[in-house]
Amino acid sequence: MYISDLALNDFRSYREVVVSCQPGITTFVGENGQGKTNLVEAIGYLATFSSHRVNADASLVRQGANAAVVRAKVMHGESPTTVEIEILAGRANRARINRGNAKPADLLGIVRTVVFAPEDLELIKGDPSVRRRFLDDVMIQLRPRMAQIKADYAKVTKQRAALLKTMWKTQRRGGIIDHATIDIFDGQLARLGAHIIAERARIVTELRPYVEQYYREVSGGKGVARIDYIANIDERTGWELPSATQLETDDTGQLLADITAHETQLQDVALTEERLREALGQWREQEIERGVNLVGPHRDDLAISLGTLPAKGFASHGESWSYALALRLASWRVLRDDVSGNWADDGEPILILDDVFAELDARRRQRLADIVRQGKQVFVTAAVGDDLPVELDGQKFSVHEGQVTPLDEAVDETIDEPVPSPVTSGMHDDLRGAR
């Protein structure tokens, strides 16, 4: 799978731009603030309907415009598919597939991406929400139906939290609490939450060997990286991951086997739903008293360890970079190896490296370049071309003041807009018609 043409209208800094792409490595070079990251951000948005830079879609719409359009021609083998998403500030997005109207959810899975950016250091150093989002982005690309389950779960938790606050006020006034309604919400939370936990646990199982492999390759063999899924339901029912002391002094092999066995149990949707129902019953009084949802996958985390110590707080800056890269490369490999879905035979994700090489030392740059050269399509952004290893050969574009030009056509600081090809001209016409 690869993108052959990308067209943007009123997306971020771009009023209108069209770029023709090829398989292999494509590099966008330009100073900060010129728009190079906006291009790869748009590609990533087609895969997950989210940005790696901001949480609100309204930020993606060019100032003064009512909507932004991202359109791409995606090649699976010899078969082209044209996808389009119209981002409407404050309203539901609209989508088209091959010029026909579609539900936005129908686009999920057609484009797959893995994005690595400087913000990914938060995977190691940041809050659990960052790591949950990492797992969920992989989950939605592997199982597009999970996008709706996740949205439904978010709605249930919001409504349930409001109900808990109402119950607390009623209880405080000495009124009688009706538990029938909260029972209904408990059932919905347990049913939807069990699917999310099961899918996340399965993804962690698939990611684990690749995280270890890629950390070893990127870091040069310094330390053993391991990830484990921490389910909030375990905390609420008394099951805990072994501590660093246990891993140093006890039978490590048996402890790791127990972790893996427990992770397998979490993948049993029926069993996990039952455990969630029980935990919700046990913690109901505390939830009413605090007015918040204390049980469920919205409080889960991904344990990231280096040797027997947690990476957060113990890993050096270079080790943290290597670990964040290993997580993204592992997700790329899991998506690449996936044998399910409509595009299983040609579903290798597009790899996006946004301003990454400038942050790495020479050895890590070289090791990363050797790995990503294996990708079918890789997009790289850089402020300075000299930051990139010479092995990253392929298409190169200069990005300057919103103009994207093949690098061999750029002259000094003057960037002339290239003449569109018949294909890209057609894309311009279609976008104008769509607006």
77 labelled as ligand-binding? Answer: no
From 334, 393, 328, 392, select the one nearest 365 (Cα to Cα): 392
37 labelled as ligand-binding? Answer: yes
Cross-sheet strand order for the sheet of 350-354: 113-116, 350-354, 377-382, 24-29, 394-400, 403-406
Angle, helix 252-266 to helix 269-282, in steps of 10 degrees: 90
Take residue 43 and report the two structure tokens written for it: 């590609």
From 222, 225, 211, select the one nearest 308 (Cα to Cα): 225
31 labelled as ligand-binding? Answer: yes
35 labelled as ligand-binding? Answer: yes
Which residues share a beta bridge with 405? 398
254 labelled as ligand-binding? Answer: no
Separation of alpha carbons 378 and 389, rounded Å:
14
Take residue 395 and report the two structure tokens written for it: 């298409």
From 16, 84, 63, select the one nearest 434 (Cα to Cα): 84
HSE value, Cβ hemisphere, 13 Å, CA-based, for 161: 12
Rounded to a whole number of angstroms, the distance between the first and last alpha carbons of the chain is: 28
Separation of alpha carbons 349 and 344, rounded Å:
11
Cα radius of gyration rounded to whole Å, the chain:
23
351 within 8 A of 379, measured Cβ to Cβ? yes
- Residue-wise DSSP of 369-419: HHHHTTSSEEEEEESSGGGS-TT--EEEEEEETTEEEEGGG-BTTB-PPPP
Separation of alpha carbons 272 and 282, rounded Å:
15
Which residues share a beta bridge with 303? 228
34 labelled as ligand-binding? Answer: yes
Q: How far is CA 2 from CA 158, 285, 294, 335, 348, in A?
A: 38, 52, 42, 14, 8
HSE value, Cβ hemisphere, 13 Å, CA-based, for 330: 27
Query: Which residues contribute to the annotated binding site?
Result: 30-37
Query: Which residues contribute to the annotated binding site for ATP?
Result: 30-37
